[in-house]
Amino acid sequence: MPAVTVTTLQELKQKGEKIAMLTAYDATFAHAACQAGVEVLLVGDSLGMVVQGQDSTLPVSIDEMAYHTACVKRGNQGALIVTDLSFMSYATLEQTLANSARVMQAGAHMVKLEGGVTLADAVQRLAENGVPVCMHMGLTPQSVNLFGGYKVQGRGEAQARQLRADAIALEQAGAAMLLLECVPSELAAEITQAVKIPVIGIGAGSATDGQVLVLHDMLGLSLTGRAPKFVKNFMDGQTSIQAALAAYVKAVKEVSFPAAEHGFSA
C-alpha cells in the first residue's frame, strides 16, 4: 500500500473512513499486518506484558522500545509506525526530546505519550522539532498504580469535562492524534467530534475515527486466559493468522467492530 502519513490519517477522518491500527513488536507480524491493510502499527509498551511476561508495562525500558521499533521497521510495508515512550522516559522535557529522537531514529514516524494537558508543553516542543505526537488518554496503563487498577476513566461529569478539555488543549498544542482507552462510548464520540485530529479508540466505542487492539489479544492469545471486555478474538472461525488480521481490518472498516458489548457506559 502507499505509505501512510499523518496527512493520510487526517484525510481518512475527513472522509469518514475508519482507521485500522494494531500493535506490532517484530518484523514478521509487522509485515503480516501491512499485508492485511493495517494502516498504523503501534510499537506498544504492552510488549512488557505480551512479549516479556511482565505484570505491567512499567518495567519496559526506552532501549527496548527502540529495539522493537527497529524490528518493526524492517518488516513494515507502508504503515505509519507509532512508538510508545516507556514509563518515566519523558518525565522532563530534556528526556522527552532525547528519547523521542531515539525511537524516531530507530524507525518510528510518531511517538505516543500517556497523559493529559500537563504534557502540552512537551507536545508543543516535539511538534516544533518535527516529531508528531499521539496522546494516550483515559485509562493510561503507566499510571495503573495511581488509578488503583485498570479502571474505566471519564465516568462522572467532572472527569468527562476534564478529558474533553484536555483533548482540545492537546490538539491546540500540536498533537497529531489521540488515543482513548476505556472511556465511555458517548464521551469518546463527543471528543472525536470536538477535535479535528484523528481519534483512535480501544474500549471507547465505535464512533472514534479508528480502532486499535493488542495483536496477541485479537489473536486469542493470553498469558492469563482473561481478555478485556473490549477485545474480540478474530481467530474464531479463521484458518490462519493472516485471515484473522484481514477480518479485523474488515470489521473496523465496516464498523461491525467494536459492537456495543465491547464498550462502556458513563
User: Does 39 count as an annotated binding residue?
Assistant: no
Show the cell assigned to 151.
479502571
| 158 grid coordinates | 467532572
Specify whether the CB–CB gap between 192 and 209 falls below 8 A.
yes
Q: Are 52 and 41 in contact (CB under 8 A)?
A: no
Q: Which of 171, 181, 190, 261 is catalytic?
A: 181
> In terms of DSSP bridges, do strands 210-213 and 199-202 run parallel, antiparallel, or are they unpaired?
parallel
* 46 appears as a binding residue in the annotation: yes
Active-site annotation holds for 94: no
The strand pair at 199-202 and 177-181 is best described as: parallel
CA distance 30 to 208: 24
Q: Is 114 annotated as a binding residue?
A: yes
Taking each helix axis from N to C end, the angle separating 27-36 and 241-254, rounded to the nearest 10 degrees, works out to: 50
Query: What is the rounded CA–CA span in Å between residue 107 and residue 258?
Result: 30
Distances from the Cα of 179 to the Cαs of 35, 137, 202, in angstroms? 24, 6, 8
Q: Is 84 annotated as a binding residue?
A: yes
Q: Rounded CA gap, 176 and 226, in Å?
A: 33
**Residues labelled catalytic:** 181
- Residues annotated in a binding site for 3-methyl-2-oxobutanoate: 45-46, 84, 112
- Residues annotated in a binding site: 45-46, 84, 112, 114
